[in-house]
């Protein structure tokens, strides 16, 4: 199961229940009424995938792949459709950047992870859960509370830092976020910390002045080391569906997103957005959130994702 143990796979399977119902169970129903893989069946499959928010472009790629592979393998029986569908989904999610453990750290310490995203996507809880995973692996973690825009942000982050066993550095409300990030990394170097996770203010990805603030944080960090931040994680609420692609485009253009965290996967039928983002943006999904508990942030395993989606 790659990056996931049996318990983790079980949680992923549970988390994908609504997406499974929207894709796999609907596919099973059309298979039960048709005997052969023909254009009419593929048209129905296309409708199901688009309805699951996989998107036109990605759906087209999957349908073309199913059609081609069915011909190459000589598959005509509709019962073989699931095998072909799984094969195409795995192919879409494959890539060298999806194979490594996203919790692995670079040799240079501290590793600096900048976390970005719009309001309401679960960014604060993701930071707490990510800190917990690094602490669980024996790392010393400092959280930089660089969301100085929202009055309650520090209090929420302090709660999660306490749960995770991480330290937190913050300044007064309205302080320069880039200065908070800079000071936090300096402190991490002095304290020989392993990881710095930089929180940032949630913002609409269409607000140019707010995106400039993110660019400033990145520039300031790069004065400490050109390699910083080592990772820029964009947190996306899975239930936003196709709008998540627009967020990925805007944040990538501004701060060079290196990976995605897909939250609230357990509360939506739109888990197919994983495929759409991978196909459209070629960005790896690094983590998925499958529950509200502190241990419910999982490293994304493409093979396990597809297996869990089709699991009975």
pLDDT tens-digit map of 118-170? 988 999 999 999 999 999 999 999 999 998 887 777 888 999 999 999 999 98
pLDDT over 80 (residue 34) = no
Q: Is 230 within a domain?
A: yes
How much is the CA Rg of the chain, to the nearest whole Å?
21
Q: Is 121 within a domain?
A: yes
Q: Report the C-alpha gap between 309 and 155 in whole angstroms.
A: 37
The domain containing residue 49 runs over which residues? Answer: 6-97
Q: Do 73 and 154 reside in the same domain of the chain?
A: no
Q: What pLDDT does residue 203 have?
A: 64
Q: What pLDDT does residue 2 have?
A: 60
Mean pLDDT of the chain: 88
pTM as predicted: 0.90
Q: Is 306 within a domain?
A: no
Taking the alpha carbons of 108, 111, 112, 113 in that order, is the dihedral positive or negative?
Answer: positive
**CATH number of 179's domain:** 3.40.50.300
What are the two backbone dihedrals, phi and then psi, of residue 167, each rounded to the nearest 5 degrees?
A: -90, 160
Q: Is 311 within a domain?
A: no
Q: What pLDDT does residue 110 have?
A: 96
* Mean pLDDT score, 30-42: 84
* Mean pLDDT score, 64-92: 88
**CATH number of 55's domain:** 1.20.120.140
The answer to which of 47-61, 89-103, 137-151, 188-202 has the lowest mean pLDDT is 89-103
Confidence of residue 217 (pLDDT cuts 50, 70, 90): very high
The answer to which of 86-100, 188-202, 293-307 has the lowest mean pLDDT is 86-100
């Amino acid at each position: 199961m790659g990056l996931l143990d049996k318990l983790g796979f079980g949680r992923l399977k549970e988390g994908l229940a609504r997406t499974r119902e929207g894709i796999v169970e609907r596919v099973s129903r059309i298979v039960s009424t048709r005997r052969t893989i023909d254009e009419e069946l593929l048209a129905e499959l296309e409708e199901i995938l688009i309805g699951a928010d996989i998107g036109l472009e990605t759906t087209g790629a999957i349908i073309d792949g199913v059609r081609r592979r069915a011909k190459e393998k000589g598959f005509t029986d509709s019962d073989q459709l699931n095998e072909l569908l799984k094969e195409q989904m795995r192919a879409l999610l494959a890539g060298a950047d999806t194979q490594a453990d996203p919790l692995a750290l670079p040799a240079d310490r501290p590793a600096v992870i900048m976390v970005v995203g719009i309001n309401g996507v679960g960014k604060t809880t993701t930071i707490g859960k990510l800190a917990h995973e690094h602490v669980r692996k024996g790392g010393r973690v400092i959280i930089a509370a660089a969301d100085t825009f929202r009055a309650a942000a520090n209090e929420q982050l302090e709660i999660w830092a306490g749960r995770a066993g991480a330290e937190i550095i913050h300044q007064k409300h309205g302080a320069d976020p880039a200065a908070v990030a800079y000071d936090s990394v300096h402190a991490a170097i002095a304290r020989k910390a392993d990881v710095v996770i930089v929180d940032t203010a949630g913002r609409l990805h269409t607000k140019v002045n707010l995106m400039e603030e993110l660019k400033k944080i990145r520039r300031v960090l790069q004065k400490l080391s050109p390699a910083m931040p080592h990772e820029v994680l964009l947190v996306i609420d899975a239930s936003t569906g196709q709008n998540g692609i627009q967020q990925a485009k805007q944040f990538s253009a501004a701060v060079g997103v290196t990976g995605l965290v897909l939250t609230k996967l357990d509360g939506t039928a739109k888990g197919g957005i994983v495929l759409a983002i991978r196909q459209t943006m070629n960005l790896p999904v690094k983590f998925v959130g499958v529950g509200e508990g502190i241990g419910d942030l999982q490293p994304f395993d493409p093979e396990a994702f597809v297996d869990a989606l089709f699991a009975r």
